[in-house]
Amino acid sequence: MRSAFDRLPCDLVRALTLGSTLLALLTIFGVTADAQRGAQPKHARFRGVVLDAATAKPVAGTRIAVVGTGKVAVSDSLGVFDLDSLPAGINRFVVFAVGFPRANLTLPFAAGEVMERTLELDSAQVNLDSAAAAAAQPIAGVTVNAPVPMERRYADFERRMRTGRGQYLTREQIEKAGFNRLTDAMRQVRGAIVECGGGGGCFIRMARAPRGCLPEYIVDGVENNSFGLNTPILDIEGIEVYTGAADVPGEFAGRNAGCGVIVIWTRVAPKRR
Helix (H) or strand (E) holding 182: helix 182-186
Q: Which domains does the chain have, with CATH numbers?
A: 43-122 (2.60.40.1120), 152-266 (2.170.130.10)
In angstroms, the CA 120 to CA 52 distance is 6
Mean pLDDT by 10 residues, the chain (273 residues): 54 52 53 53 91 91 89 93 92 90 90 92 66 56 48 80 86 90 90 80 87 88 86 91 86 78 83 49
Within 13 Å of residue 79, how many CA atoms lie on the same side as its CB? Answer: 17
Cα-based angle 251, 242, 72 (whole degrees, multiple of 5): 105
pTM value > 0.75: no
